Structure 1
Amino acid sequence: MAQNNNKMSYEEAGKKGGQATSKNQNKSFYEDIGSKGGQANAKEHSKEHFQDIGSQGGQANAKEHNKEHFQNIGSQGGNATADNHGKDFYEDIGSKGGKANADSHNKKHFQEIGAKGGRSSNNN
């Protein structure tokens, strides 16, 4: 502990307080204060602000990692999700996705994509 006339630095005091708090609080305490902080942050900034910082973070992340990195973490996330959820989970999210898709497109849209028969327009 660095001392200046027997006084703790702000960094040391913060660390000590954080350690004491973590001993006395549980997960729900941190979820609650995180939620409150997120709500306060959302009131202070616009949707565009969050889109901008998200885009900046995504671009920085893309510069730091290659395609294989993203394939690996995507696979890990998919496996973790599969390990934590059963068949009902996938049926539920599939149903929700299908409903959202149906609500956002008309019958003609589905007839047009059906006529393509799975052929890609951009030859992927």
Structure 2
Amino acid sequence: MANNNKDRKMSVEEAGRKGGEATARNHDRDFYEEIGRKGGEATAENHDRDFYEEIGRKGGEATAENHDREFYEEIGRKGGEATAENHDREFYEEIGRKGGEATSENHDRDFYEEIGEKGGNARARQRDDE
């Protein structure tokens, strides 16, 4: 029986998959880190802030469409645990100070009155539930 595979053309997808598999067999983690670093540097040289904002927005929208609240709670918890393991009290004091400064630059007295009222109401409900 003749081998019909020699007459069959390989699709672009199949060629890409086979090439990727061969590359994975022949290279280690350091190789991928290096080409990723080089690619990141080249991208940074060729694109501005608007480019990164746009791809970040698109990525965020795609993630939101594909994940639910539990997903975000889980990654938030994991991120918080990892941050807590790697940073001390001074780190949290510094980011709190910076956040407070940025917030005060962007909001007026009405904003603080509104969030104060919301916080007070939440505390009152919490006490009522106890």
Compute the TM-score of the two structures, normalised by the length of structure 2: 0.58
Please say if 1:123 is aligned against 2:125: no
| Structure 1 unaligned residues grouped into runs of 5+ | 110-115
Which amino acid letter does the alignment assign opposite residue 13 of structure 2? E
Q: Distance in 1 between matches of 2:14 and 2:8?
A: 12
When the two structures are aligned, how many residues end up with a matched partner? 105
Match of 2:91 in 1: 94
Q: Distance in 1 between matches of 2:42 and 2:14?
A: 27
| Structure 2 unaligned residues grouped into runs of 5+ | 106-111, 120-130
Match of 1:59 in 2: 61
Which amino acid letter does the alignment assign opposite residue 9 of structure 1? S
Q: Percent of aligned positions with the same letter in both sequences?
A: 35
Which amino acid letter does the alignment assign opposite residue 94 of structure 2? G
Q: 2:32 aligns with which of 24, 30, 33?
A: 30
Match of 1:47 in 2: 49
Structure-2 change in CA distance of 1:99 and 1:76 (3 Å): closer
* Structure with a larger share of its residues in helix: 2
- With CA pairs under 8 Å and 6+ residues apart, which has the higher RCO, 1 or 2? 1
Where 2:7 maps in the other structure, the secondary structure is coil
Moved more, 69-78 or 16-25: 69-78
Moved more, 27-36 or 9-18: 9-18
Q: CA RMSD in A?
A: 3.6
